[in-house]
Amino acid sequence: MSAPKSLIVSHNYNPGHYSHLIANQKLLSEAGYDCRFHWNESFNRFSQHDSSNAGNSLRAVVDLKQGDLMVVWFPSLRALFDMAIAKIFTRAKIIYIFHEPVDSVRAYLASGFGLLKTARIMLISVVNRLLVAFSDKIVLPSDNAYKVFNSKYSYGGETAKISLMFDDECGTNQILDINKRKFVAYIGTIAEDHAFDEYIKFISYALKNNILPEVTFLIATRSELPPDLAAKLVDFMGNDRLKIVSGKPLSNDEINIYFSQSIVVWNAYRRSMQSGVLPKAFMFGTPVIISENNRSEYFVNNETGVEISKNYKEDEIYDAITRVKTDFAFYSHFCRERFLNCFYYKALSEDFMLLVNQ
């Protein structure tokens, strides 16, 4: 008897999503599934996995049968079409990993989004509601996501809170000590609710006043720097204390190098359902700075990093960085432990398969 098939679906290319997809593939393969990817082919550029099991052909959906599984990551019209085909022509079970349930208009405006971008998010929410309607089961990655989902969406199927999953791309022998780390880093997408403007404000202040002279401030993002914020850094271009990598997608290996070489990573967002930056930092034993606006059950203040107030005062940020630098080994230990217990796919396998098999 052949093994049941599982199809992992993700059509929008984002390098940060790659880690989740590979972790999900390993989890399902170890659970006995013949696992394949139905994803944006740009992922193949840095995938080290068998490309014969990855592609973007609709045939992979149509070939599913009763007992097979479709796992959909991240919203897109193409994923919605795949779900509809699977629902009509197959009897496969459909699970939607609902990373970011759409909150209220007021929540996005308060986080710094303009009217046009907020309107776009509301349009995406229409797609999400259809994805939810086609799903047999829903996975939500945090208490915040679960709360918004229950208040904003009507759904009668099975749900479970399971945190974002990752493979261990580090290994304890690769965790660098403080002497081999040099970055205070912003890694990931530039967005209004990520308080990137506050990060720029602080590093401009630090560079101008020669504060924290032993560290390098890093911006690593595929986003283009907003012109008004880039202008604040013009005087420091060419300074060896500022490193900017922007405007192009980064490979997973590049992203991992930056996390592993960072003393602390900016995660002081204005809002967040569940940031992928936090567990990725923890994977490499790297503490984070968060704000009181984006507390989550996965962060422990003064263990996995330092919380600052929503006022983003320079002296608070300075103090947070200094505290982490002074006792880095203590913070790093708790970050690594948190990753293994909360985000490593092997720790999540039992809960995930329980949802699949209910």
List the single range of 6-10, 13-17, 79-83, 303-307 with lowest mean pLDDT.
13-17
The rounded mean pLDDT for the chain is 91
Gyration radius from the chain CA atoms:
21
Classify residue 176 as exposed, middle or buried by CB count within 10 Å of its CB (0-12, 13-18, 19+): middle
Instruction: Indicate the range of 90-104, 106-120, 307-321, 340-354 predicted with least confidence.
Output: 106-120
What pLDDT was estimated at residue 273? 79
Higher model confidence: residue 238 or residue 260? 260
CB 183 within 8 A of CB 259: no
- Average the pLDDT over 352-358 and give the result: 93
CA separation for the pair 351, 353 (Å, rounded):
6
Q: How far is CA 239 from CA 10, 44, 232, 244, in A?
A: 39, 36, 14, 11
Give the Cα separation of 217 and 197 in Å (integer): 14
pLDDT tens by residue, 107-147: 767 767 777 777 777 777 788 899 999 999 999 999 999 99
CA dihedral sign of residues 184, 190, 21, 118: positive
pTM of the model: 0.90
Hey, what CATH class is 172-341 in? alpha beta
In this prediction, residue 304 carries a pLDDT of 97
Please give the class, per CATH, of domain 5-166+344-357.
alpha beta
Contact 335/282 with Cβ under 8 angstroms? yes
pLDDT at 161: 95
Q: Does residue 352 or residue 53 have the better pLDDT?
A: 352
38, pLDDT greater than 90: yes
Split at pLDDT 50, 70, 90, the class of 277 is: very high
Per-domain residue ranges for the chain? 5-166+344-357, 172-341
Contact call for residues 94 and 70 (beta carbons, < 8 A): yes
Is there a shared CATH topology between the 5-166+344-357 domain and the 172-341 domain? yes
How far is the C-alpha of 16 from the C-alpha of 12, rounded, in Å? 11
Q: What is the pLDDT of residue 53?
A: 66
Q: Model confidence at 48, in pLDDT bands (50, 70, 90)? A: low
